[in-house]
Structure 1
Amino acid sequence: TGCTSISYYAQSLQGHVEIMAARKDVGTLVQDPSTPQALRARLTSASAIRRFATDELALPDNSSYRSYVDVGRNDVTLAVFAAPQFSLAPITWCFPVFGCVPYKGYF
């Protein structure tokens, strides 16, 4: 229904904006002495892997994997897939701009 769509878009927009606003630069976090050692090690490893991908595999040197957000939970989003009873054919949801997909994502 229209109300369901509005609430779905609202949670999606709010979740996205909150994550984007909370981003921190990976390089800054690695240099920050208050960053926990385990996190620093993971970020350093991710940066080295990214550098390898750019230098050795000629993948694009863009902004991917240059920021980090601790969302305070194991999953950033949950993807919900559905099918009619006794069927394996997925239900699809259609959205303006994004088209039709066989899932809904929730923050």
Structure 2
Amino acid sequence: MARRREYLTIPRMLPPKPPSAWARRGKILSGWGFLLLGVAGLFLPVLQGFLFLAVGLYILRDEYAWAQRTIDWMRRKFPRYTAQMDQGRDRAAAWLQRWRRKVRRTIYQVRR
């Protein structure tokens, strides 16, 4: 007699771990650093001020409510550029994911 085939169940996904305190501090420092570069870029012709301001706000939006409100205001004020902002956010997330994979791969190879 043939055995009844038992189907595997998909294990429940665990909730993501919250970032460590050091990762959170690094994120906040990098966000403020980009904001400072953006303010300097508004006065210096060499730096692109708006770009650095937008990157700093996107980094800080999860930590501070005022940063999220500023991004929402920019979306309402400049609707032509919202697609570019979303595309830039997606490209930055993809770049960060590739960078993390490379770092993890390097760390794994060093440990072996």
Compute the TM-score of the two structures, normalised by the length of structure 2: 0.24
Higher relative contact order, structure no. (Cα contacts within 8 Å, ≥ 6 residues apart):
1
| More helix as a share of residues | 2
| More strand as a share of residues | 1
Bigger radius of gyration among the two: 2
Compute the TM-score of the two structures, normalised by the length of structure 1: 0.25
